């Protein structure tokens, strides 16, 4: 994916406009190629801005970049829950994904409990994708990317960041590193705890 094409997509997404299905396909494919190389636990150096749930609140995301500084001038760690509830989950998630592809070392995306096929069918992302694209194809593309998102990050080797919380089944970071994350979020167990506790 050429930087000039990606920059045009980022500009469009920053205007809260959707990109076409072919662009979504290419973006998701490139994102999976990058994310598959990242481990379950990502090392992050400070300074970094750590952000919680976005939940499709596109204009809050834009204000966050305005106040905190924009990528690539500032590094960000997002802790999941990019979609559902808000009206602009598609634009919010695809913008973060495009920024990840464009600046892979400046933005980290870890998985939240809403990065799940089951949850997004209940809380709005599925319906939004169908409404904006006329089918569930973009939803399938995005939920496939969810499976590749890391489960945790460690800032400066000292601060553990997860979406949910700790698990009684996990005593060490190495145990997080061995989880097979490339799957739908299970209903129980260590991965579920990291995303839901």
Query: Mean pLDDT throughout 75-103?
Result: 98
Question: Known catalytic residue: 137?
Answer: no
* Contacts within 8 Å (CB) and 24+ apart, 119-123: 119/84, 119/185, 120/83, 120/84, 123/84, 123/85
Which residues on adjacent β-strands are paired with residue 44? 155
pTM of this prediction? 0.96
Question: Which segment of 2-6, 110-114, 168-172 scores lowest on mean pLDDT?
Answer: 2-6
Compute the C-alpha angle 110/101/186, nearest 5°.
30
pLDDT in tens, 104-135: 999 999 999 999 999 999 999 999 999 999 99
Whether residue 63 has pLDDT greater than 80: yes
Place of tokens 């593309």: 141
Whether residue 2 has pLDDT greater than 80: no
> Rounded distance, CA 24 to CA 137, Å?
10
Q: DSSP secondary structure string, 74-90?
A: S-EEE-S--SSSSS-HH
Query: Mean pLDDT throughout 170-177?
Result: 96
42: tokens are 């990502």
Using 50, 70 and 90 to split pLDDT, how confident is the model at 169? very high
- For residues 112 and 81, the answer to whether their CB atoms sit within 8 Å is yes
Q: Which among 3, 43, 114, 140 is annotated as catalytic?
A: 114
Burial (CB count within 10 angstroms: exposed 0-12, middle 13-18, buried 19+), residue 168: exposed
User: Following CA atoms 57, 194, 116, 111 in sequence, which dihedral angle do they give, to the nearest 10 degrees?
Assistant: 50
pLDDT at 1: 64
> Rounded distance, CA 110 to CA 42, Å?
9
Ramachandran angles phi, psi of 129, nearest 5°: -60, -45
Using 50, 70 and 90 to split pLDDT, how confident is the model at 144? very high
């Amino acid at each position: 994916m050429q930087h000039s094409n990606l920059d045009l997509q980022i500009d469009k997404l920053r205007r809260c406009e959707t990109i076409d299905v072919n662009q979504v396909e290419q973006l998701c494919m490139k994102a999976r190629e990058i994310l598959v190389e990242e481990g379950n636990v990502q090392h992050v150096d400070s300074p970094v801005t750590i952000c919680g749930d976005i939940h499709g609140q596109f204009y809050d995301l834009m204000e966050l970049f305005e106040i905190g500084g924009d990528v690539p001038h500032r590094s960000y760690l997002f802790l999941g829950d990019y979609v559902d509830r808000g009206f602009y989950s598609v634009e919010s998630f695809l913008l973060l994904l495009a920024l990840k592809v464009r600046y892979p070392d400046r933005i980290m995306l870890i998985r939240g409990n809403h990065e799940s096929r089951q949850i997004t069918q209940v809380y709005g992302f599925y319906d939004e994708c169908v409404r904006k694209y006329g089918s569930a194809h973009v939803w399938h593309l995005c939920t496939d990317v969810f499976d590749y998102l890391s489960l945790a990050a460690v800032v400066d080797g000292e601060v553990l960041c997860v979406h949910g919380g700790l698990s009684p089944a996990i005593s060490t970071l190495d145990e997080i590193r061995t989880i097979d994350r490339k799957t739908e979020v299970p209903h129980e167990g260590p991965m579920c705890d990291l995303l839901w506790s």
